[in-house]
């Protein structure tokens, strides 16, 4: 046991470097996934059929194919067409597009879950589609989205381990190196704890955002209700 602890101490700088790479992939992928999910989610409810069809095709392609294959495609195939990225950026793009496609369904479902009366009330107030979405529908849908985004973020943290396939020295890679220096049970137990802590911290951050959004929505609802007698 003492030998394992000594090896862990020696490997700590490398493990911290691995955590840094994992966080870069996680946070970069999460930001891209958010943008992609919002764009594709809104396009999926567009009144323009070609936009809906295009969004559906993109979502189904990225949801229906392996993340590992997508990663290989961006890293090994795209350079054949003259488009080359470094390994970290490739990982961010692959993770962002893959989880963004799943997130698009979260966006679409959350928007459609907003009470029909809210849509009708906003229309009755002669709000334009953009104003209706921005001031009435989106704030309520956002609260619903955050719960789904929380699950996707935890999955994304675990999904960063695929970066090992393109030679990135992420946390999984460093844990495997620690295994060689110590033993399988000790090394992968450290890996389990490390991934759990990262996922838990990020998940709690999103949970705080969700609670904050709910409070803000409750305050806004109360104000609107007292002034107009309507929910919106």
pLDDT single digits (tens) 131-188: 888 888 888 899 989 989 999 999 999 999 998 888 888 999 899 888 888 888 998 9
pLDDT bracket for residue 1 (50, 70, 90) = low
Q: What is the mean pLDDT of the chain?
A: 87
Answer for the pair 199, 154: CB distance below 8 angstroms, yes or no.
yes
Give the pLDDT score at 181: 86
Q: Where are the domains of the chain?
A: 2-226
List pLDDT tens digits, range 193-218: 999 999 999 999 999 998 888 888 77
Q: Please tell me the distance from the alpha carbon of residue 37 to that of residue 97, in angstroms, as a whole number.
A: 8
What torsion do the CA atoms of 193, 88, 150, 47 make, to the nearest 10 degrees?
Answer: -160
For the domain bounded by 2-226, which CATH number is listed? 1.10.3720.10
- Give 224's contacts (C-beta < 8 A, 6+ positions apart): 230, 231, 232
Q: Which two tokens stand for residue 35?
A: 């943008």
Asked if pLDDT for residue 225 goes beyond 60, the answer is: no
Mean pLDDT within 49-63: 94
pLDDT bracket for residue 222 (50, 70, 90) = very low
List pLDDT tens digits, range 22-51: 999 999 999 999 999 999 999 999 889 999
Q: Which one-letter DSSP state was computed for residue 165?
A: G
Q: Please tell me the distance from the alpha carbon of residue 99 to that of residue 92, in angstroms, as a whole number.
A: 11
- Give 102's contacts (C-beta < 8 A, 6+ positions apart): 37, 63, 152
- Among 9-18, 124-133, 139-148, 183-192, the minimum mean pLDDT is found in 124-133
Give the pLDDT score at 163: 87
Its sign, for the CA torsion 159, 160, 165, 171, is negative
Its sign, for the CA torsion 216, 196, 23, 7, is positive
For the chain, what percent of residues have pLDDT higher than 70? 94
Greater model confidence, 58 or 182: 58
Q: Please tell me the distance from the alpha carbon of residue 176 to that of residue 186, in angstroms, as a whole number.
A: 11
pTM of the model: 0.86
Percentages helix, strand, coil for the chain, rounded to the nearest 5? 90, 0, 10
pLDDT bracket for residue 101 (50, 70, 90) = very high
- Among 56-60, 101-105, 201-205, 221-225, the minimum mean pLDDT is found in 221-225
DSSP state letters, 188-227: HHHHHHHHHHHHHHHHHHHHHHHHHHHHHHHHHHHHHHHH
């Amino acid at each position: 046991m003492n030998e394992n602890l000594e090896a862990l101490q020696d490997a700590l700088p490398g493990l911290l470097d691995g955590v840094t790479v994992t966080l870069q992939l996680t946070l970069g992928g999460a930001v891209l996934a958010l943008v992609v999910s919002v764009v594709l989610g809104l396009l999926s409810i567009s009144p323009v059929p070609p936009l809906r069809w295009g969004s559906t095709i993109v979502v189904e392609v990225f949801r229906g194919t392996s993340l590992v294959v997508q990663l290989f495609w961006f890293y090994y195939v795209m350079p054949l067409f003259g488009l080359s990225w470094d390994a970290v950026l490739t990982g961010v793009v692959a993770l962002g597009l893959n989880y963004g496609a799943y997130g698009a369904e979260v966006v679409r479902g959350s928007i459609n879950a907003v009470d029909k009366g809210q849509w009708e009330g906003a229309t009755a107030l002669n709000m334009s589609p953009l104003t209706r979405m921005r001031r009435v529908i989106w704030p309520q849908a956002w609260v619903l989205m955050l719960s789904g985004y929380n699950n996707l973020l935890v999955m994304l943290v675990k999904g960063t381990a695929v970066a090992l396939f393109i030679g990135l020295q992420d946390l999984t890679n460093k844990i495997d190196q620690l295994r060689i220096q110590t033993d399988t049970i000790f090394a992968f137990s450290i890996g389990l704890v490390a991934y759990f802590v990262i996922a838990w911290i990020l998940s709690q951050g999103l949970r705080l955002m969700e609670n904050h959004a709910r409070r803000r929505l409750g305050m806004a609802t109360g104000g609107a209700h007292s002034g107009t007698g309507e929910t919106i």
